[in-house]
Amino acid sequence: MNIRIALAGNPNSGKTTLFNALTGSNQYTGNWPGVTVEKKEGKLKGYGKGETTVTVVDLPGIYSLSPYTLEEVVSRKYLLEEKPEAIVNIVDGTNLERNLYLTTQLKETGIPMVTAVNMMDLVRKNKEELNLAQMEKDLGCPVVEISALKEEGIDRLIETAVSVAKKAEPSHRLVFDEKLESVISAIEKKLGGLLPQNNPDWYAIKVFERDEKVVEQLCLTASLKQEIDAYISSVEKEYDDDSESIITSARYHQIETMIHDCYVKRNRQSDSISDRIDRVVTNRILALPIFALVMFLVYYVSVTTVGSILTDFVNDTLFGEWILPSASAALESIGCAEWLNGLVVEGIIGGVGAVLGFVPQIFVLYLFLAVLEDCGYMARIAFIMDRIFRRFGLSGKSFIPMLIGTGCGVPAIMASRTIEQDRDRRMTIMTTTFIPCSAKLPIIALIAGALFDGAAWVAPSAYFTGIVAIVTSGIILKKTRLFAGDPSPFVMELPDYHIPSVKNVFHSVWERGSSFVKKAGTIILLSTIIVWFMQAFGFENGVFTMVEDMNNSILAMAGNCIAWIFTPLGWGDWKAAAAAVTGLVAKENVVGTFGVLYGFGEVAEDGMELWGTLSSEFTAFSGFSFLVFNLLCAPCFAAMGAIAREMNSAMWFWIAIGYQTLLAYACSLCIYQVGTWITTGVFTLGTVIAGIAIIGFIYLLIRPERKVA
Amino acid sequence: MGTILVLLVICATVVWIIRNMINDHKNGKSVSCGCSCSQCHGGCHANLKKEIDRLRNAG
């Protein structure tokens, strides 16, 4: 026998944390809404095998069962069509009133239910009291207190949920006032056999609410529809409100009664610590400078100071002094052919090593980001950014994918699904990969270290370049016909600040860091082998052979075919062009390719370092132009695939890729041309084109907004 | 002998990586995506397009 238990609750009520506790899985949790976009399944601990197996389904967080958002559609469809044996309704004990609204609706579905009051540790800490026995009586279903984060009360919840599911007693909805009850039964009577037998009340209430999807699903005849409509209108007239609001008010009336019965709220004499911190951190004037300072410190410490010390050790000592010479000597001692020695040392170890060298910086960066996420600060950033984004016609919802995008662009693109309006969703997909992901960090660190001598501003500037690109893109795109219109509303709860959980932080850092290492050992390793072969073989004296001069290699030939495109950007050399192209497979490949081409493998032999050789090929401006191009241009193939899937249209996919590449090219052109002109006085056709691009950019930013009817 | 041995090791590694990548792809995981699947909200699942289409048609 397999029992399915659905986890339903408000966003940020701790569903995914509870899901992890119930199933022992490691799903990603975050303290902002939209972390779970689609349902996830797992086996309940202790019920994975045997006679009774229990599958737990984590549904996206929702505030109601109305079909307004994609999350609501996913959850509602699952509950009504798949009909799980039980619902575990997760209620945030610190926000009882708002959370109980969904509870009243879940009760209407008729599915057996158990209510889990989460965050009871915080309720007690706030010296608030909750009479669970009374609540159980009022709700008419078992109520269990838990703390998903501390894994308290989980065993009792499992036991109760399984028993409720086995008993299969349908839950009964809460009763409205007499008038509304008579209206609902009248609708039920009129619809008769059209209503499903297991939960006719739910459908009758939805018909009263004029829920278009339910009306459509019931295939009502025109005359019946008209009859019911006239009936609803008369009730609306009597209540002087629309039918949906009448039901909403009735539900809140039930909730008020319940809260009055079972909840004793502490009369707060003073603001909580979170309130006091928020007064500074989300202050209208200070919020943005504080955010800028925090992110500056995060990138500065991870890339330039602590991270750099560790990276230097990995590059110079671990690879430079230990691994490379030992590998080379070992291969020579067993009589390995010179070319194969080159492939292993210069190709594989040089290429993969160049990428792996940045692992310490990545771990340090993600440690900081995980702490900021877990303590609740990042949720505030979404709130702060919403205030700023809204001014430019963007929604704060667009910032959530960007927060996720610091790890990887693929889940960030997927997270854009929470945005209901197509135009805003598309715009977010187009811009979210501007935020540097983990794969771009080695490029940032390489340029910062090799060309700017580890200057403090370079790494943070990469992050802020991403944010500025997103905001300015938003302003420009919102003024076009394709994206004009009001931004989507953004509602989110700000969790209280708390000391980050060591488990959560290390889990997050390990997940992100280890996948980076795994990627270096798979796709990057294969890529470096291909790059090495392409740079080692070519045509010399009309014969295809292993080349002595790398400029005669296949890679040089291919690179030279496209290098001219990048000449106006200051890096028209075939090596840089080839690195940028290999970056499309995975962005780490940019550094991996440099590792192969500039001879990371040479470190041990002649003391020449990759970074030193690289710096001789770039000026400060061409280096920064190269960095900006790789940050903003089309992302890796995996992210492009996600864009294609989410856009669900070839035209929109190409618009997104085209926009990203065009913006990257224009920005890099302006940086190199204007920078070179100012510092050296060299004025070329490229400078003129850059000037025109800047004027065009300013015009697109300040031109009047398009009025939408 | 050394050359053959090293070549064999490299070939075996390459085959192993490609086999893993094919298996990952068959299991709905992305070949080049840097995120782990637990973070990915199912973004790499092969049947995702179907799921999105189904939801869009429903919504």
Q: How far apart are CA A108 and CA A203, in angstroms?
A: 9
**Which range scores top for mean pLDDT: A204-208, A243-247, A270-274, A666-670?**
A666-670
**Token digits of residue A93:** 């004990």
Question: Closest chain B residue to A331 measured between Cα atoms?
Answer: B2
Q: How far apart are CA A611 and CA A448, in angstroms?
A: 10
Q: Are B58 and A636 an interchain contact pair (Cβ–Cβ within 8 Å)?
A: no
Quick one: pLDDT at residue A449? Answer: 85
Summarised one tens digit per residue, pLDDT across range A107-137 is: 989 899 999 999 988 888 888 888 999 999 9
Q: Are B35 and A70 an interchain contact pair (Cβ–Cβ within 8 Å)?
A: no
Quick one: pLDDT at residue A653? Answer: 95
Output the pTM of the full model.
Answer: 0.76
Quick one: pLDDT at residue A29? Answer: 52
Summarised one tens digit per residue, pLDDT across range A53-72 is: 898 888 888 888 887 777 78
Q: How far apart are CA A335 and CA A692, in angstroms?
A: 60
Quick one: pLDDT at residue B49? Answer: 40
Number of domains in chain B: 1
Residues of A within 8 A of B5 (CB-CB) are 334, 336
pLDDT band at A709 (very low <50, low <70, confident <90, very high): low
Higher pLDDT, A629 or A198: A629
Summarised one tens digit per residue, pLDDT across range A75-93 is: 888 888 888 999 999 999 9
Looking at the partner chain, which of B1, B48, B59 has a beta carbon nearest the beta carbon of A335?
B1
Summarised one tens digit per residue, pLDDT across range A136-165 is: 999 999 999 999 888 899 999 999 999 999
Please state the ipTM of this predicted complex: 0.72
Q: Are A526 and B18 an interchain contact pair (Cβ–Cβ within 8 Å)?
A: yes
Domain that holds residue B44: 2-58
Quick one: pLDDT at residue A617? Answer: 86
Give SS3 for A546.
strand
**Which range scores top for mean pLDDT: A368-377, A386-395, A509-518, A549-558?**
A549-558
Q: What are phi and psi of A571, to 5 degrees?
A: -135, 60
Q: Are B32 and A636 an interchain contact pair (Cβ–Cβ within 8 Å)?
A: yes
Across residues A405-424, what is the average pLDDT?
80
Decide if pLDDT at B56 tops 70.
Answer: no
Mapped to the 3 state alphabet, what secondary structure does A313-336 carry?
HHHHHHHHHHHHHHHHHHHHHCCC
Q: How far apart are CA A196 and CA A185, in angstroms?
A: 14
Lowest mean pLDDT among A31-45, A391-405, A612-626: A31-45
Question: Closest chain A residue to B8 measured between Cα atoms?
Answer: A340
Higher pLDDT, A383 or A460: A460
pLDDT band at A354 (very low <50, low <70, confident <90, very high): confident
Looking at the partner chain, which of A38, A70, A516 has a beta carbon nearest the beta carbon of B34?
A516
pLDDT band at B29 (very low <50, low <70, confident <90, very high): low
Edge-to-edge strands, sheet with A113-118: A40-43, A53-58, A2-9, A86-92, A113-118, A143-145
Q: How far apart are CA A195 and CA A224, in angstroms?
A: 13
| Lookup result for tokens 């940045």 | A358
Question: Closest chain A residue to B59 measured between Cα atoms?
Answer: A73
Looking at the partner chain, which of B13, B39, B58 has a beta carbon nearest the beta carbon of A407?
B39
Q: Hey, where are the domains in chain A?
A: 2-167, 288-487+506-702
| Lookup result for tokens 């695939």 | A641
Domain boundaries A2-167, CATH class: alpha beta
Quick one: pLDDT at residue A150? Answer: 85
Decide if pLDDT at A492 tops 80.
Answer: no
Across residues A562-577, what is the average pLDDT?
95
Q: Are B38 and A334 an interchain contact pair (Cβ–Cβ within 8 Å)?
A: no
Q: Are B35 and A411 an interchain contact pair (Cβ–Cβ within 8 Å)?
A: yes
Q: Are A438 and B32 an interchain contact pair (Cβ–Cβ within 8 Å)?
A: no
Helix (H) or strand (E) holding A539, with range, is strand A537-540
Helix (H) or strand (E) holding A54, with range, is strand A53-58
Q: Give the bridge partners for A2, in sequence order.
A: A53
Looking at the partner chain, which of B2, B10, B35 has a beta carbon nearest the beta carbon of A407?
B35
Q: What are phi and psi of A9, to 5 degrees?
A: 175, 175
**Token digits of residue A649:** 């249209």
Q: How far apart are CA A388 and CA A377, in angstroms?
A: 17
Quick one: pLDDT at residue B47? Answer: 36
Residues of A within 8 A of B40 (CB-CB) are 408, 410-411, 414
Q: What is the DSSP letter of A619?
A: -
